[in-house]
Copies of this chain bind each other. A is one copy, B any other.
């Protein structure tokens, strides 16, 4: 696989409440205030184009118009002149010629949150996804996603798993994601929802992968397909299964609690760089993370 020229921006998502970004009013809509700081990092990646075009993909969400309106508002505030809404609700929409044309012409797509199974089942095997990957591989194209939109980026995707039961075999359900990044499993809302065991089980069952646990108000920028840089105010927990010794997951029945020895865990904060190919920290860089 060649080294992608584009960038991924995976964001840990927000709660189902938010802020009118202009007026500072809470709970008007579902896009959280904090994302403005994160979105700023996305806009910075678009510096090479004079008038960047962003398309918001709301396929994962059950309230697409509300969500799109928020992102349009937020990206406008950050100086993006053209923000569109690819209102793709099913596989037929995904092959809509107008949408495909707009995908070819934009500089960035932003996948909203919602249900990651909608993303994998609607985009899997489509021309739309092929074009998305092609542009990511060969151009300075930016693919951003929050919550479900982040979780669907990997090849191995968690689609269900109650945190309180996540120490039991079989409780963490895995399927195939969009495959934009290989050998990782991305989880979102990581601290807030206590998902350590959930991601650890996913990694224990797939020790070749690296678990990326994204906190809220937090994300990673993926460069060259392997280099992760943390952005935002929270932490990114990296769960690396390569050194696991004892692991009972193959031997126990469904519903039994798992035991796993010697998982390596890294905690990244803003600016930290981690390489998923070498599985090591590669230093740190100061990132502007203000909200203003």
CB of A281 closer than 8 Å to a CB of B: yes
CB of A99 closer than 8 Å to a CB of B: no
Task: Tell me how far the C-beta of A234 lies from the nearest C-beta in chain B, rounded to whole angstroms.
Answer: 6
A259 cross-chain contacts in B, Cβ below 8 A: 267-269, 272, 281, 284
- Evaluate whether A235 and B193 lie within 8 angstroms (CB atoms) in the complex, with A268-B259, A269-B258, A269-B259 already known: no
Using CB atoms and an 8 Å cutoff, list the residues of chain A in contact with chain B: 163-164, 166-167, 191-197, 200, 204, 215, 233-235, 237, 239, 245-246, 248, 256-270, 272, 280-281, 284
Residue contact B258 to A267, C-beta cutoff 8 Å: yes
Task: Tell me how far the C-beta of A240 lies from the nearest C-beta in chain B, rounded to whole angstroms.
Answer: 9
Residue contact B235 to A261, C-beta cutoff 8 Å: no
| Chain copies in complex | 2
Residue contact B267 to A264, C-beta cutoff 8 Å: no
Residue contact A261 to B269, C-beta cutoff 8 Å: no
Q: Which residue of B lies closest to A274 (CB)?
A: B261
| Contacts beyond the supplied A248-B269, A260-B266: 8 A-B pairs with Cβ under 8 Å | A167-B191, A167-B215, A167-B269, A196-B196, A196-B237, A235-B257, A259-B281, A263-B266
Considering the chains assembled together, what is the distance between the CA atoms of A128 and B195 in angstroms? 40
Considering the chains assembled together, what is the distance between the CA atoms of A193 and B163 in angstroms? 10
A269 cross-chain contacts in B, Cβ below 8 A: 167, 248, 256-259
A195 cross-chain contacts in B, Cβ below 8 A: 194
Considering the chains assembled together, what is the distance between the CA atoms of A264 and B261 in angstroms? 9
Residue contact B262 to A264, C-beta cutoff 8 Å: yes
- Which 8 pairs from chain A and chain B are nearest by CB? A194-B194, A257-B269, A167-B235, A196-B196, A263-B265, A260-B267, A261-B281, A259-B269
The one of B233, B263, B264 in contact with A257, judged by C-beta atoms closer than 8 angstroms, is: B233
A281 cross-chain contacts in B, Cβ below 8 A: 245-246, 259, 261
